[in-house]
Each structure stands twice: as C-alpha cells, then as structure tokens.
Amino acid sequence: MSHHSDPACLFPTAIVTIIATPEMWETPALEKEEALIAGSADKRRREFRAGRHCAHRALECLGLEVTPLLQGERREPIWPQGYLGSISHCDDYALAVCALQGDIVGIGIDVEPLSPLKRDVEQLIHTERESRFMQANPALPERLIFSAKESLYKCYYPLVEQFFDFHEVELAIDLTTRHFSFSSQPEAGISFPAYANFHGSFLNTGSHLITGCYLTQ
C-alpha cells in the first residue's frame, strides 16, 4: 500500500488542506476560541489550538480574514457563511480542510493512529459484512471503518443536522483505488440528501490513517 503522505490527495484542488506545524500546538487560539477550552485538560487544549490554527490558515488561503470559529451543540466548528470545513486531530497530528460552498456542499476529514481499536468498540461500528471484509484484509488499518464513518458523519451532519449511528450506514471499500462508498441501512432513521454525490477515500501515511470525503452537487 502506498505510503504517499499528503492528505491533500484525498480532495480536489478546490478544497484547501492544512496540516498543523509544531508551533500551532502551542500558540493560543483567538480569545473567543480559548474561552471554549478554559478548564480543559492540556491535551485537549493543544489539539484544539492546532486544529483551529489549521482552519484559520485554510480559510485565509480562500481569502477570508481570521475570525473566531465557535462551536455548535456537538462541539462541531461553526464555519463562516459561504464556507465549509472539517477539522480532525489525534495525539500528534492535526489538520483542517476548507472550501467555498458551491459545487462542493460537504466535507469531512478524520485522522487516526494506526493502533487498533478496542475490541468491544468494533461491535458498535462494524456491520457483519464490514467485519468479514476487515478480517479478510488484515493488512488494512484496523480503524479504517471507524475513521471512514467518522469523516462521513462530519461530511453529512451540517446537511442533515441529526446524529446517526455508525450501524446505519455500511461501507464498500475499493482496495485498488482506496476509495469508499456507502449505503444507508434499512433501519437508518435518516435520509441522505439525494442531490449530493458522495466521494470518499483513505490514505495510510505510514504513521497515521487519514480518511476524507466530500459531497458535490
């Protein structure tokens, strides 16, 4: 499997991808953003700052002046009017993707360490078919289904504005292209917008797994 490590390859050029540099983890965010993490553990503050700095840089690349990115009920970032984005971070890696709203109507990104998930967690994420697929392909990162569903959720949440369970969608993964698609399960209590075309792909950098998806209309 390719260890090409640039997550920008997961997206078209209209989507700006920024990876956190070392100073982004340490530099305080904007005052209103810092207020969101007052009293948080040091790890949470570092990851939050890195993610917000990446998002600001990406929005600047799209011609927007830096303004505080506040958060919604599920701690999701509230993006400026006319812009879309997604942020993800784990212990030592943070990144953000942003685009102008238009042809692109949704974006999601997720980064995970290559370490396995806890066994009891898998049952909450994998459908039976996905479990069989992962067992048949032991070289794949063990968090692949989890990460892909995480980025899929982030991609759709702003459009459907409701939580959906990871069992409500089932992934189909193409190992040759490293793309993934999904189907809504019969018990899904959510209707995904029919006008949006889904594009998903994944990348193993050798140190991290990154999944990204976007919607076009």
In one-letter notation, the amino acid at residue 141 is: P
- pLDDT of 105: 96
Q: Is 135 exposed, middle or buried (0-12, 13-18, 19+ CB in 10 A)?
A: exposed
pLDDT digits (tens, 9 = 90+) for 175-201: 999 999 999 887 777 888 989 999 999
Phi, psi (deg, nearest 5) at residue 62: -90, 5
pTM of the entire predicted model: 0.93
> What contacts 138, CB < 8 A, 6 or more positions away?
none
pLDDT digits (tens, 9 = 90+) for 162-177: 888 888 899 999 999 9
User: How confident is residue 15, by pLDDT bands cut at 50, 70 and 90?
Assistant: very high
CATH (residue range 7-102): 3.90.470.20
Domains 7-102 and 110-216 share a fold: yes
Lowest pLDDT segment from 2-6, 100-104, 196-200: 2-6
- pLDDT of 3: 42
User: How confident is residue 117, by pLDDT bands cut at 50, 70 and 90?
Assistant: confident
b/e code 165-191 from CB counts within 10 Å (16+ = b): ebbbbbbebeeeebebebeeeeeeeee
Q: Which CATH superfamily is domain 110-216 in?
A: 4'-phosphopantetheinyl transferase domain (3.90.470.20)
Give the domain ranges of the chain: 7-102, 110-216
